[in-house]
């Protein structure tokens, strides 16, 4: 998606060789109109897949998932990063390691929001090592739901998470795929 690539080049900040900050428009400050364009593009790519729910993980995925849910006219469910007191009864959970935060987190969804009759599209802001995506896939499998694939805003291909998950049969649609980066230089795949 050229609009996204242009935005990454104009506003993205590479930290070291593995971290890309896009917090001016995607995951700290949010550009609503741009986010809606992202949602429409994912909806176009997964049109005809029979999606009944969009699944993401808090917090950065929520705005994008909401835009996709709106474009597809389906509910959005987000996995919480800690089980809340309000999450009583059956829940699905998976442990996810965050490389940017350097910690493992338990993600949790109340079972009544994901069921075997659902057809799920996972949406997230980044795909690097694939830990968050793998955790979300686990939640879908625990629910017995059908998974149509994952929509990722920015994939860091050099960290191989996408390759590994694709090899396992997961359909992944990335709007911007980065082959390599270093401060001041970003190469798209």
What percent of the chain has a predicted confidence (pLDDT) above 90?
Answer: 88
Between CA 4 and CA 176 the distance in angstroms is 7
Helix runs in the chain, H state only: 2-11, 32-45, 60-72, 131-143, 161-167
Q: How many CB atoms lie within 10 A of CB 83?
A: 15
pLDDT digits (tens, 9 = 90+) for 75-104: 999 999 866 666 667 999 999 987 767 789
Distances in Å between the Cα of 65 and the Cα atoms of 38, 54, 161 are 9, 6, 20
pLDDT digits (tens, 9 = 90+) for 117-164: 999 999 999 999 999 999 999 999 999 999 999 999 999 999 999 999
Structure token digits, residue 137: 């896939």
Give the model's confidence band at 16: pLDDT under 50 very low, under 70 low, under 90 confident, else very high: confident
Question: Which residues on adjacent β-strands are paired with residue 99?
Answer: none
Average pLDDT estimate for 170-176: 98
- Domains in the chain and their CATH numbers? 2-188 (3.40.50.2020)
Among 112, 107, 72, which residue's Cα sits nearest to residue 93? 107
Q: Is 121 in contact with 75 (CB distance < 8 Å)?
A: no
């Amino acid at each position: 998606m050229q609009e996204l690539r242009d935005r990454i080049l104009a506003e993205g900040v590479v930290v070291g060789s593995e971290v890309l900050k896009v917090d001016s428009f995607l995951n700290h400050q949010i550009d609503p109109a741009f986010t809606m364009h992202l949602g429409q593009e994912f909806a176009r790519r997964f049109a005809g897949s029979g999606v009944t729910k969009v699944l993401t993980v808090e917090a950065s995925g929520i705005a994008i998932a909401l835009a996709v849910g709106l474009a597809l006219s389906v509910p959005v469910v987000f996995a919480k990063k800690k089980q809340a007191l309000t999450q009583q009864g059956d829940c699905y959970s998976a442990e996810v390691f965050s490389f940017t935060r350097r910690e493992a987190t338990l993600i949790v969804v109340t079972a009544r929001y994901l069921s075997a009759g659902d057809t799920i599209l996972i949406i997230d802001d980044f795909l690097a090592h694939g830990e968050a995506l793998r955790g979300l896939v686990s939640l879908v499998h625990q629910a017995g739901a059908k998974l149509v694939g994952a929509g990722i805003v920015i994939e860091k291909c050099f960290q191989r998470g996408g390759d590994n998950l694709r090899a396992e049969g997961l359909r992944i649609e990335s709007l911007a795929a980065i082959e390599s980066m270093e401060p001041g230089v970003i190469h798209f795949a």
